[in-house]
Amino acid sequence: MAEPIEVTARVVIPAAALSLRATRASGPGGQNVNKVASKVELRVDLERIEGLPADARGRLLALCAGRCDSEGRLVVRSQRTRDQHRNLADARERARRLVAQSLVAPRPRRATRPAAAARERRLLEKRHAAQRKRARRSAATHGDD
């Protein structure tokens, strides 16, 4: 647990930014489930991540908004397996993936305009809809009451 998580060659989550808590997992597991603390809760202090650019830090905070505790640390839980070491590896990998995901800048949106034919189709459909409603209105007023 004491080793840092290397996201890229430049971005590293230092060991000092990580804290671990193991608890008993929920769900099936036989007699073992009440004795063994296999569920892992890994907390990552986002402020202590080294080499993370400011824009990526903002994206990371947005990605982790619902997964942070009251102190602003990312909480990653894993209870996929019945083995604490595998759950720890899973939690570390999920934390690494989240930080790596924040490094990817979203593609900027390029403003586009609808094609002339599409605009014409939309206006034609609007005219047809209005005509249908007009026909209903006149049929309703001239109908047999």
Q: Are 78 and 22 part of one and the same domain?
A: yes
Q: What is the pLDDT at residue 67? A: 87
With 70 as the cut, is the pLDDT of residue 138 above it? yes
- Contact between 26 and 79 under an 8 Å Cβ cutoff? The reply is yes
Residue of 35, 50, 29, 41 whose CA lies nearest to 99: 50
pLDDT at residue number 31? 66
Total Cβ atoms within 10 A of residue 126:
10
The average pLDDT across 28-41 equals 74
- What six digits make up the tokens of 33? 């489930």
Of 131 and 70, more confident = 131
pLDDT digits (tens, 9 = 90+) for 48-61: 889 989 999 899 98
User: Residue 36 has what pLDDT?
Assistant: 76
Same domain, yes or no: 25 and 96 = yes
Work out the pLDDT band at 33, boundaries 50, 70, 90. Answer: low
Look at residue 34 and tell me whether its pLDDT is greater than 80: no
65 and 37 together in one domain: yes
Residue 145's domain spans which residues? Answer: 113-145
Number of structural domains, the chain? 2
Residue-wise pLDDT tens digits, 76-117: 998 888 888 999 999 999 999 999 999 999 999 999 999 999
Question: Rounded to 5 degrees, what are φ and ψ at 134?
Answer: -60, -40
The CATH number given to whatever domain includes residue 26 is 3.30.160.20
**One domain for residues 52 and 85:** yes
129 and 99 fall within a common domain: no
Q: Distance between CA 3 and CA 56 in Å, rounded?
A: 23
108 located within any domain: no
How high is the pLDDT of residue 101?
92
Residue 95 lies in a domain: yes
Q: What is the C-alpha separation between 52 and 11, in angstroms, rounded?
A: 6
Q: Are residues 81 and 136 both part of a single domain?
A: no
Q: How high is the pLDDT of residue 8? A: 87
Whether 86 is covered by a domain: the verdict is yes
Q: Same domain, yes or no, for 30 and 49?
A: yes
Domain match, 66 and 136 both: no
Is the residue at 40 inside a domain?
Answer: yes
What distance lies between CA 109 and its chain's CA centroid? 20
Residue 33 maps to a domain: yes
Whether residue 121 has pLDDT greater than 90: yes
Higher pLDDT, 41 or 26: 41
Please check whether residue 82 lies inside any domain of the structure.
yes
pLDDT at 80: 87
